[in-house]
Structure 1
Amino acid sequence: MGGRRVSTGGSTFWSAVRLVARREFTERIRDRGFQISVGVMLVILLASVAIPAAIGGGSEKYDVAFLGPQQAQLAQTAERQAALLDVDVRVGTVADRAAAEKALADGKLDAVVADGRILVDTTLSDPLAAVLQSAWATVERDLRLSASGIDPGAVNQASAIRPMPKTTLDPDADERDTRKGIAFVGTLVLYGMLMLFCMWVASGVVEEKSSRIVEILLATVPARALLTGKILGIGLLGLLQMLVTAVVGLAAASAFGSVELSGAMIYPVALVLLWFVVGYALYACMFAAAAARVSRQEDLQNVITPMTSLLIASFLAAIFLGQKGGTIAHVLSYIPPFSAMLQPPMTAADEVSVVENLVAFAIALLALVGLVRLAARMYEGAVLRMGGKVGFKEALGTARKG
């Protein structure tokens, strides 16, 4: 954290908060470890968007050729069947069987139909097999019909029945699935960012306390201003990282064609950002108050275990219940701090409405007001007490006396 003195003179409470927040933000953003972690996260994010797009982008194309007396008829029929089955087939030519086998071995052709057999180098994909088998069956049927004195053209005309049209009962299904995917990634990022930045708050509190820097700071800055500024400064840095992650992620997904940017797609991302602010404020207050109770980094994990367990439970609820809905998920989506993790995925899955978002947000803000006051009292009562762990009641009692 550093031991730079923060002087506020006769400044107001919020002036002191701004000074502390600026100090926290500036020192953290200059940290080389933070810069590297942001870079690594963006590389992973871009890779997670680019690799699936590269692997699954576009339909696979198949190159085929035909040999034998019916090769022209087979080629025309295969092209018609491919169009009907929505398979991209390109028909080429080869001089003879030897040329066909060489083209297969060199990877220039995927399959060759010769004398009633399908030749492949290694494997035959199911879509291409369906096209070739259908084309072969159609040509063979026409030959047998002609041999029996039946006009194949009349049979083909009678068999030319248009495919049944498809009616989708849920026309928004594809869009909703895309929103779910965005919300799932957003939930992972939200969990990671909440855990990371709340841990920064907690470790910063203990570091200042163990090095007794807090005693110097509190000589010029009120305890509540110091706590508020610390939470605000680190939180602004977290929000900046979230914004960068969201912008880069959406831009990359749009560029690779994975997502078509629209209000419906941006809304889940905006919700993740909004609930990061609220969720961070809730958890950071709890982490800071708990951290003020100990004087050594070795004891920190013990006092913040309840908060980390709560955050993990919220994350698991969001992953396993968020997009499925149900009574338990709906109830938890209104209860802070579970609401911070559950609202984005449930909104993406159309399990909660905008009105329900606003209600949950209002409840979280009310809870935050009470939690801020409680955390500030605990921080004031415990941050200057050195030695062993300060009890919960003892911290509140010391704050009342102060």
Structure 2
Amino acid sequence: MNTHVTAPSFAQSVWLVTERELGAKLRSKSFLISTAILFAIALGGILWAGFMAGGDNRTPIAVTPDTAAVVSGNDAFDVTDAASADEARELVRDGDVDAAIVPGGAEPLGYTVVFADDSSTTLLQQLSISPEVEILDPDTTDGFLRYIVALLFGVVFFAAALTFGSTISTSVVEEKQTRVVELLISAIPVRALLAGKVIGNTILAMGQIIGIAAIATVGLTVSGQDLLIAGLGGPIAWFAVFFLFGFVLLASLFAAAGAMVSRQEDIGSTITPLTYLVMAPYLLVVFFNDNPVVLTIMSYVPFSAPVGMPVRIFVGEALWWEPLLALAIMLASCVAAILIGAKIYENSLLRMGARVRLREALQR
């Protein structure tokens, strides 16, 4: 009796490879441990920043009944009332306060600031009288907060894209080196193998992104930063969307880069240009997060849009239609990268020995 084995369809082949990629990672202790460490670092950093921001940063200072008016209404100081100048000096000497304001001194001030061993320029500046300031075009976001948010988006994109992108390249080379790939493509189409690898690692990368977003929400809630949660909701959602398509774009190219070599020792040279592309958005937001021109350009370049556009949305610099236009450009670039990556992957996968030149991989 003859038995006929039906070959799996393209969709079934893609799912088989996807399951294989997911299973291999989820069974890997190193992956699980590194993910747990990443989540712990994210939670710890958010809690630390939140508690530092919410802590009491006022300068402790002692005053007497005659000098209390000097710091009246000044939120920079944690004021301790002393009955006399001698008591105020004793508080300084004991280290209970950083300084004391006591009667006496040259006019027109009529008071003296007492320190224990060395004067503080910062404290003296806090005591100085400044004119009222009017800013015609104020920033909508605090500069430090802008920097932190931009840095977080840059770090998450850089770490996730490089980690999983390198994993794809390494997996492809390993399969070529052990000849496993020859068995795989005898059962499933080459493009199904590529699609499964990309989809599997995209699911894992998005899982980490969603996990970090959830941890960030918990951390911000615990540290009492509810207003920041409301402001970050939209940017985080757009970051996830841009990251999804941006990672698919990069994953296709990382897989193609891995297919061009046959040894693990040679993979570094092929993925170096891609590493620079992943690193560039991180470096740009570190140095140019307050430059509207640079951020605008970043938000339309496919490799940096996952970082540039969410930052612009957070600070209120992006018009409503700009994320949609940037996403359309990202989708078109994603399709082009998939087609190019698939061609290189198909033409290079079974070629052993010397590294396949890019021109040869594209011509065949």
Classify the TM-score, shorter chain.
0.7 to 0.9
Equivalent positions of 1:239-388 (< 5 A) are: 239-258=206-225, 260-321=227-288, 323-326=290-293, 330-331=296-297, 333-388=299-354
Larger Rg: 1
Structure 1, unpaired ranges of 5+ = 1-7, 67-71, 135-162
The AA in structure 1 aligned to 2:92 is: L
Equivalent positions of 1:81-92 (< 5 A) are: 81-92=70-81
Distance in 2 (CA, whole Å) between partners of 1:333 and 1:231 is: 24
Matched-pair contact (CA < 8 Å) for 2:154–2:281: no
Asked if 1:205 corresponds to 2:172, the answer is yes
Matched-pair contact (CA < 8 Å) for 2:22–2:201: yes
Residue 38 (structure 1) aligned to one of 35, 51, 69: 35
**Given the superposition, is the C-alpha separation of residues 373 and 31 from structure 1 closer, same or farther in structure 2, using an over 3 Å criterion?**
same
Partner of 2:23: 26
Partner of 1:62: 60
Matched-pair contact (CA < 8 Å) for 1:178–1:259: no
Structure 2, unpaired ranges of 5+ = 105-111
Give the match's secondary structure for 2:62.
strand
Q: RMSD of aligned C-alpha atoms?
A: 3.3
Asked if 1:232 corresponds to 2:199, the answer is yes
Asked if 1:48 corresponds to 2:48, the answer is no
Matched-pair contact (CA < 8 Å) for 1:87–1:127: no
Alpha-carbon displacement from aligned partner over 1:290-316 (angstroms, at most 9, x marks no partner): 211111011111122222233333443
Give the match's secondary structure for 1:232.
helix
C-alpha displacement at 1:368, in angstroms? 1.5
The AA in structure 2 aligned to 1:359 is: L
Partner of 2:96: 108
Matched-pair contact (CA < 8 Å) for 2:147–2:289: no
The AA in structure 1 aligned to 2:190 is: A
Matched-pair contact (CA < 8 Å) for 1:254–1:261: no
TM-score by length of structure 1 reads 0.75
Matched-pair contact (CA < 8 Å) for 1:82–1:88: yes
Matched-pair contact (CA < 8 Å) for 2:150–2:307: no
Give the match's secondary structure for 2:272.
helix
Matched-pair contact (CA < 8 Å) for 1:176–1:348: no
Asked if 1:13 corresponds to 2:10, the answer is yes
Matched-pair contact (CA < 8 Å) for 1:190–1:272: no
Identity of aligned residues (%): 29
Matched-pair contact (CA < 8 Å) for 1:235–1:277: yes
Matched-pair contact (CA < 8 Å) for 1:16–1:226: yes
C-alpha displacement at 1:193, in angstroms? 1.3
C-alpha displacement at 1:40, in angstroms? 2.7
Partner of 1:157: none
Distance in 1 (CA, whole Å) between partners of 2:126 and 2:206 is: 53
| Count of equivalent residues | 352
Higher mean Cα deviation, 8-17 or 369-378?
8-17
Matched-pair contact (CA < 8 Å) for 1:81–1:131: no
**Given the superposition, is the C-alpha separation of residues 334 and 201 from structure 1 closer, same or farther in structure 2, using an over 3 Å criterion?**
same
